[in-house]
Each structure stands twice: as C-alpha cells, then as structure tokens.
Structure 1
Amino acid sequence: MGGHGSPGRRDGEREDAALSGTTTKDDDGTIVLTGATGFIGSHALTALLHRGRRIRALVRHIPEDGAAASVEWVRGDLTDPAALGGLCEGASAVVHLASYIGGDERRCGAVNVDGTRALMAEALRARVPRVVHLSTAAVYGAGPHRGITVGEVTAEPTSAVSRTRLAGEAYARHAGAVVLRPGIVLGAGDRWVVPSLRELVERVPAEWDGGRALLSVVDVGDLARLITAAATGPRPVPPGVYHVGHPDPVRIKDLLAELSALGVLPPRPTEDWPWPACLERLRTTPGRASERQFALAARDHWYLADEIWKLTDEPPGPGPLSRLARSAEWYRAHLHGADTA
C-alpha cells in the first residue's frame, strides 16, 4: 500500500512534534483509526468527526455506507505489515482500537500482538506525535479488585485474549502511547456484556451475593469522547497506562435493576443467594458464559479512573446507568433478534 500525506516533512520538525505532543504547521491533522467499524471504534469515529477531524481508517472491508467526505477508508489488515506502509504519514494521532477477542489463540497473537507491533513501528517511523491504544482491565485477571490504581496489583491475564492484549500494550507504550484499560463498556453495539448478563440472570435466577459487587463501567459514548480528547485535545496526556470507567463504580444490583426496568432483562428475582450457591447453580446449568465471566459481573472489579478524565479536561458525565435509556431500544432489538435467530 502506498504512502499517504506529505512525505517531505523535515525530520527535525517531526522530532519536535513527537516530543511536545503538538502538530507541526505542515501536519494535515489526520487521525489514523483502527477498529472504525467495531463497537467502540464506530462511536469513536463519530466523535472524531464531530470534532471536525479528518480520519484515515484502516479496515478489512470498506462499509457500504462509508461515504463521509472526511473519512479516507484504507483497505488492509493489521496482520499484513505491508498494508501498513505509509499509513501514518502526516498524521497527528494514531488511535488503535482494533483487537481480536475470539477463541482462536493464533489469531489473538497475530492481531493483538503482531498487528499492534507493526502499527506502532509505523507510528514511530512516521513520528506521529500522539498515540492512543485501547486495552482492557481484563489483563488483571480474576480479582476480586476493589478501588485499585494502575500498578497496584500485578496483571495476571487468564485468557488468550487478555494475555495478548497485555503483550500488545508493551509495543504501544514503547511508541509513547496513552494506553486505556476500560472495564465494562455499555451502549448500542454491545454484543457481549448485556447478552451475557441476560444468560447469567437466566442461569442463576437470584440476587448474586446480595448484588453488592462494585464494577468499573463506562458508556461507549463517554468512552468515545475520552478517546477523542486524548487524541485531539489541546493538552497532551502524558504517555502511560490509565484505567477508564466512570469515577463512581456501579453496583451490579443497580445495573441489573436498570436493565430490567428498561425491558432489556427479565424482572429482578426476589431471592438472595450467597456466592457459593450462585457458583453451584452456574456449574449445573448449561450455557456459554464461563465462571470467569460470571465472576467479572458478580464480584468486585472496580478500578480507580479519575485521573484520565482530569488530564483530558473531559467531564465524565452523569454515569453509565443514566445513559442506558438511549441504548435500551437497540438492546431490546438485538436480544429479540438473538431469540428468533
């Protein structure tokens, strides 16, 4: 794939831009975006366009409705390093949101590790002044975790997805990236969290250990705002790893109650089962969700996230429970489709 932008920029100007976190006068302001057609990436694309930025989006398949004048769709795959040549030329930021979260361990490594390494090498070669990389709080492993800061506990990923995403972080950090570790992300396009919650409430029809678990949760629209601010805001965010979630944790009891009130999940049960009884019911009831996935929702997984909102000067908003009403219709339609598929 050929180069993009203006290859004639002087090396000294590029180096100054990379060190200061600002764009140079001949920088075209383009944002390189991966994952633009995915759940989080599609919201980030919208947020970046609303900020008036031009986007160069690397995608495996160009969307049929991808006719926005401010988006340059580049067909390519993270697993093909040749496709990345010139991708970052002249860009003011790289926003890397693409990942593979399926069960193929080989592809996990190819996309989340090798693909990230190749993209970050291209960002370094092009001296892109800002890099934002999306990871996950799942790299911490089983937990429970209650109100921890970055580095307070050792990352101990338990799946191929989280192991390879942690490995990919190393290449992003070498490129000077702002690495974001969200917990639970909710909103239109979520095909994982709320569908899994529906399965779990059907398999374990009780209040889970009093419903007291505290979770790090963020609405996808608020996450997209944060990503956009990190990539384009007037004040560069220092490179490093940051938790992402609303500063106030969400109790699982309150999350399930709100989803039930919106008609997304069944009515809430009246019985309260202790944790061992919940696990026993899960183990004896067939389903796709694992014990690990159940524990992520029913046990504390709360990570302190105030710092990134302050550094980006972005208000965190009213909280993910307040945002659910705007995605409830999407969830109802998606879950109904799953019932009839």
Structure 2
Amino acid sequence: MIVVTGATGNIGRSLVDHLLAEGAAVRALTRDPERAGLPAEAETVRADLTDPASLGPALHGADALFLNLAAGGGDAARTVVDAAVKAGVRRIVLNSSIAVSEGPQDADNFLARMHGAVEDAVRASGLEWTFVRGGAYAANALQWAEEIREGGVVRDPHPGAATSPVHEDDLAAVAGAALLDTTGAHAGQAYVVTGPASLTREDQVATIGRVIGRPTRVETIPEEQAAEERATPGVPKEVLLQLFRLFATAVGTTAPVTDTVERVTGRPARTFEQWVEGHAADFR
C-alpha cells in the first residue's frame, strides 16, 4: 500500500493516476473525500495532517509514503514522519525543493530552511528515503490565469527572473519510480528535478500567449504592490515578499537544468509549452 498526501494537488493527482496505472494499491489522503474527485480505484481517506489522531488509521498497513509539505506545512510533515515510523512504514518519498543545497547559503533562503528541516526529520527517522527536489513548478503560472483571461497583461515585479519550470507529471513520475522501486536504486537519493529549459517569467507569459493565440505581455510593478495584490490567507504578504526577493536574485541568470527526469523515467522532461497546451483552457 502506498499512501499519498496532498492527493488533490497538482502533483498528487498525477501521482495517484501514475501509481494506479502501474498496478499499485493507493490510499489517497484528503480533508474532504466527497469532493476529491479521485479515481474510484484509489482508497480515498479523510485525514488532516495537522491532527495526529487521524494519522494512525491513515498510515495503517502502508509500505511507502509520499510526503508533500503543501498538504499541511513543515510542522505537520514532521508529525507525519513520526506517525509513519510508528505505523511501520518502510519508505518515504519527500516532495522537497531545489532550494535545498545542503550548503551554508540555505540559512538565507526560507524555502531551503523549510524543506531542509523536513529532510532532516526524514533522515533521522531511520526509514528508507528519497528526496524529489523540484524546481519551479510550471503550474505556478496558473497564478496569472485571471490576468491573462481579462486583458493579457501580467503584473510582476521581476519579469526577467529565470527558472526552469517543471511539469507536475514529471515530478509525479520521478516520485512514482522511487515509491515503486524494488531494487534500492533510488534509496538515499536527492533528485534535483527541473524542466528542460531556462525561461524568464516574461518568456513564460509569451509562451502562454503563443499557445492560446492571444497577445500577452508583462508589466513590471514594485514588489510591495505585487505582494499586497497577491496575498491570501494561505500565502501572506511577507511570504510573497521573501519569494519575490529570491526571484530578484535570478534576474539576468540562467536557471539550472538537470536530466533527472530522463535518467529516472527513460523519457525527456516535458517542456513548458507542453504544460501550457494541457492547461490552455485555464488562460482563455
């Protein structure tokens, strides 16, 4: 049995589909099974990762666990690790971040600190582990969907910031390979997973316009203004400001590109354009 946290998120949904296609038994965790919309073949279970009492039943009988911080945050993730040990889970595949370098610079990067702390907890658990250190998600472009639909103008503080956007299906495929591993080849590996090309945020907006057949452009605005406009209860202004400061350091650079997807799955990483083609309806 493989337990998937964050099962209704972009990576989680793709991972559930991938594991089921490989014939695995899957238990998908969600706060609201009735609204999850997951395949009937998956055992969809109500679980709140911030509630330790719900974790024992959710992990009972599981051999492997996909752990995603997006499902509850760093504190909840560490609680899940403890519960996994108690439940007899053998393997954890952690959805981590490319920000983690295991060097002194991690102390100055809030994403590295957050994910690195959970990596440390997984290592200390004594369980078999694999880290999937994903680069910038292609799906982050969905934050621009409303602006593109309404007028084709994306307001952004750092349009020249470069990332190598990675498709959620590729992250799921790498995680799936580690979860299903029968040889031990993926044990103890920290995989850095990126898309196949370095693109600026302006490049991404232009790609969206080209795919949907409508003109798109970026209007540069101050960080403070962007953070105020995009802040939500789940992503407060201060977190956005920290993220924008990281983007500022990526202006004028070339983002790292790895061949991890091809090495692990046997096929090339999907391009950002392919991602947009699959999500074009969101921008029209």
Q: TM-score range by the shorter chain?
A: 0.7 to 0.9
Q: CA deviation at 1:35?
A: 0.6
> In the alignment, is residue 288 of structure 1 matched against residue 218 of structure 2?
no
Aligned partners of 2:166 and 2:49: how far apart in 1? 27
Listed as ranges, the matches of 1:42-57 within 5 Å are 42-57=13-28
Could you say what the CA RMSD is over the residues aligned between the two structures, in angstroms? 3.6
Change (3 A) 1:320 1:284: closer
Letter in 2 for 1:331: F
Which sections of structure 1, spanning at least 5 residues, go unmatched?
A: 1-29, 101-110, 141-149, 272-277, 333-341
> In the alignment, is residue 219 of structure 1 matched against residue 167 of structure 2?
yes
Taking structure 2 as the reference length, the TM-score comes to 0.76
* Match in the other structure for 1:241: 190
CA distances 1:282-331 after superposition (whole Å, capped 9, x unpaired):
25856525555445286247345334642x24323342223321211133
* Match in the other structure for 2:259: 306
Aligned partners of 1:293 and 1:197: how far apart in 2? 20
* Match in the other structure for 1:329: 281
Letter in 2 for 1:172: V
CA distances 1:165-197 after superposition (whole Å, capped 9, x unpaired):
33222212333321222122124xx57554599
Aligned-residue identity in percent: 27
Which sections of structure 2, spanning at least 5 residues, go unmatched?
A: 231-239
Query: What secondary structure sits across from 2:229 in the alignment?
Result: coil
Letter in 1 for 2:131: V
Listed as ranges, the matches of 1:63-82 within 5 Å are 63-64=34-35, 66=37, 68-82=39-53
> In the alignment, is residue 173 of structure 1 matched against residue 123 of structure 2?
yes
Q: CA deviation at 1:252?
A: 3.9
Taking structure 1 as the reference length, the TM-score comes to 0.64
* Match in the other structure for 1:232: 180
Change (3 A) 1:67 1:259: closer
> In the alignment, is residue 267 of structure 1 matched against residue 238 of structure 2?
no
Letter in 1 for 2:268: P
Alignment coverage as a number of residue pairs: 266
Listed as ranges, the matches of 1:1-341 within 5 Å are 30-64=1-35, 66=37, 68-99=39-70, 111-137=72-98, 139=99, 150-151=101-102, 154-156=105-107, 158-159=109-110, 163-174=113-124, 175-187=127-139, 193-195=143-145, 202-203=154-155, 208=159, 211=160, 213-236=161-184, 237-263=186-212, 266-268=215-217, 281-282=221-222, 287-289=228-230, 290=240, 292-294=242-244, 296=247, 299=251, 300=253, 302-307=255-260, 309-310=262-263, 312-332=264-284
Aligned partners of 2:144 and 2:200: how far apart in 1? 15
Structure number with the higher helix fraction is 2
Larger radius of gyration: 1
Aligned partners of 2:83 and 2:241: how far apart in 1? 39
Query: What secondary structure sits across from 2:137 in the alignment?
Result: strand
Change (3 A) 1:162 1:153: closer
Q: CA deviation at 1:70?
A: 2.4
| Equivalent residues of 2:261, 2:269 under 8 A apart | no
Q: CA deviation at 1:94?
A: 0.6
